[in-house]
Amino acid sequence: MIAATPNPPCYAVIFTNLRTDIDEGYGKLAEEMVRLAEQQPGYLGHESVRDGLGITISYWESLEAIKNWKAHTDHLVAQKYGREKWYAAFKTRIALVERDYGFEREE
Amino acid sequence: MIAATPNPPCYAVIFTNLRTDIDEGYGKLAEEMVRLAEQQPGYLGHESVRDGLGITISYWESLEAIKNWKAHTDHLVAQKYGREKWYAAFKTRIALVERDYGFEREE
């Protein structure tokens, strides 16, 4: 569930969002978008949590890869629905991951 | 709940983590760390969600501000407990936010 991204640098797309009360196919399309993103060139992994506030971070090899995914036809449709009905608010941040470190319990 | 960060650039510290079953003061210290972080020079905001996986993102003016917060005495104690008992695994990523855009429903 913690994305196994390669050593930096890479890019992160941090998508922080609040949902409306409208479902209308949200869950299904969100899952489809994850599956589709995973197939895109330059995709490196993602992490996603929701508890009221939703945070989804996807990791990419380059800005070019992010741009291509943002312009993918199916993704454009999802973005349109997102603004029209699913999201009350969101913020997307494009960030260059410069450094990372981690920890994993050995037991 | 979506952090109202100023226009980029700024830095993001993405802390993705999995907890152990051990509580022992975790909630209280986590809250204290948020309060303390908010008082640090260069702090710009944070977003935090947990549902099994936890993601906490804090935003900062500079790498210097992040370094100072990481070395803060009380925070060092919290980091020690984190590795000793609270976290099964975590990954910390330091990232330069280059661009952002957002949306807020008008109704």
**DSSP state string for A1-62:** ----PPSSPEEEEEEEEEE-S--TTHHHHHHHHHHHHHTSTTEEEEEEEEESEEEEEEEES-
Share the mean pLDDT of chain A: 97
pLDDT confidence of residue A48: 97
pLDDT confidence of residue B106: 80
Contacts of A17 in chain B (CB under 8 A): 2
Mean pLDDT over A24-33 rounds to: 95
**pLDDT at residue A107 above 70?**
no
Interface predicted TM-score of the whole assembly (ipTM), two decimals: 0.96
* Cβ-based interface (< 8 Å): residues of A facing B: 1-3, 5, 8, 12, 14, 16-18, 20, 47-55, 57, 83, 87-105
pLDDT tens column, A36-60? 999 999 999 999 999 999 999 999 9
Contacts of A92 in chain B (CB under 8 A): 100-102
CA A21/CA A11 separation, integer angstroms: 31
Look at A16 and B47 and tell me if their CB atoms are within 8 Å: yes
> For each successive 10 residues of chain B (107 residues), what is the average pLDDT?
97 98 95 97 98 98 98 97 97 98 88
pLDDT confidence of residue A106: 80
CA A81/CA B76 separation, integer angstroms: 44
Q: How far is B87 from chain A (nearest CA, A)?
A: 8
Contacts of A5 in chain B (CB under 8 A): 93
